[in-house]
Amino acid sequence: MPRKIIIDTDPGQDDAVAILLALASPELEVLSLTAVAGNVPLVLTERNARQIVELAGKTTPVYAGRSAPLQRKLVTAEHVHGKTGLDGIPLPAPRLPLQPQDAVDHLVDTLRSHPPGTITLCPLGPLTNIAAAFLAAPDIIPRVAEIVLMGGAYFEVGNITPAAEFNIYVDPEAAQIIFRSGVPLVVMPLDVTHKALTSRDWVEEMRALGTPVGQAVASWTDFFERYDTAKYGSAGAPLHDPCVIAYLLEPSLFTGRHINVEIETGSDLTLGMTVADWWRVTDREPNAMFIGGVDRNGFYRLLTERLGRL
């Protein structure tokens, strides 16, 4: 039986590749996409999500959730993802309608109506929608099978500030709720995503698929690589969010440690820092499988094979 997942997302070119990977994989049943404000405002992330579903030739329902973090003003990342959030090849205006229900209500209803332990949540953006659902309906928390998310950093420290990764920084109070929820967590921090760098060969392989999906993935990669290659001086760019879906498909590609991770919400200087007890120097209870390593070639082999199916 395929594993049931809900992808909570702020597309974002790397979110888009993650969504396509999930939609291409029969081991996963994507119940829905829930859009959140993050890389760009919500009106764009929900629209981008619908365009991505259509590009994959699917009809997966898309819900729109929170347009701002729980307690803060939204911080966006057009400087990385472009003004639409999905700059690259232009996609047709989506025909797939946006679901009328609010994404947070949808999360609550779906978790309540499925047997406990059968739904995995895959957040690829700020954790606002999931935290809002946990605050509104704490009874759903023990019903979540697992949360596999992209966010945080330990050795890489930060990308949006010197101390914090974007998804956690945008809504640190939401992240704190998730990390303290008691739900089994798997975290894909920058420490692993920065080992999953694109290469020219892979981008050309995508283009050579000769499909709309291959063209889109190649054009998105061309677009967002420019920011990371200029910043880090690397040959390619990290494909962050697809690590979440690849982990669900092939966990043996990844290595990590089950450790305690706390979120900084008080300090201006280190706001949104994921304080990860990688070296186990505290007696704080482990609350997350914090991933640090990836078989990079295996990861790109999986992506090529699956994206080629769409």
Torsion of CA 197, 251, 147, 173, to 10 degrees: -40
| 15 binds Ca ion, rule: CB under 5 A | yes
Residue 97 CB partners (closer than 8 Å, separation 6+): none
Binding test (CB under 5 A) with Ca ion, winner from 5, 124, 130, 168: 124
> How big is the site for ligand BDR, counted in residues (CB under 6 A)?
15
- Site stretch for ligand BDR (CB under 6 A), options 12-20, 58-66, 229-237, 284-292: 12-20
Residue 12 beta carbon to Ca ion: minimum distance, rounded to whole angstroms? 4
Determine the longest span between alpha carbons in the chain, in angstroms.
53
Residue 15 beta carbon to ligand BDR: minimum distance, rounded to whole angstroms? 5
Considering just the CA atoms, what is the radius of gyration of the chain in Å? 18
Residue 283 beta carbon to ligand BDR: minimum distance, rounded to whole angstroms? 30
Token look-up 């406990």 returns 116
82 binds, among ligand BDR, Ca ion, none (CB under 5 to 8 A by kind): none
Nearer to ligand BDR, 222 or 241 (CB): 241
* Alpha carbon distance 158, 190 (integer Å): 8
Residue 142 beta carbon to ligand BDR: minimum distance, rounded to whole angstroms? 27
| 169 binds ligand BDR, rule: CB under 6 A | no
Binding test (CB under 6 A) with ligand BDR, winner from 25, 32, 45, 159: 159
11: amino acid identity, one letter: P
| 14 binds ligand BDR, rule: CB under 6 A | yes
> For residue 73, with 0-12 CB atoms within 10 Å meaning exposed, 13-18 middle and 19 or more buried, which class applies?
exposed
Q: What are phi and psi of 257, to 5 degrees?
A: -130, 140
214-243 residues near Ca ion, rule: CB under 5 A? 241
Q: Say which of 79, 81, 240, 258 is annotated catalytic.
A: 240
Q: Which residues are paired to 291 by β-bridges?
A: 256
Respond yes or no: is residue 81 known to be catalytic: no
Nearer to ligand BDR, 87 or 241 (CB): 241
| 194 binds ligand BDR, rule: CB under 6 A | no
* Alpha carbon distance 92, 101 (integer Å): 24
> For residue 198, with 0-12 CB atoms within 10 Å meaning exposed, 13-18 middle and 19 or more buried, which class applies?
buried
| 85 binds Ca ion, rule: CB under 5 A | no
Q: Which residues bind Ca ion (CB under 5 A)?
A: 12, 15, 124-125, 241
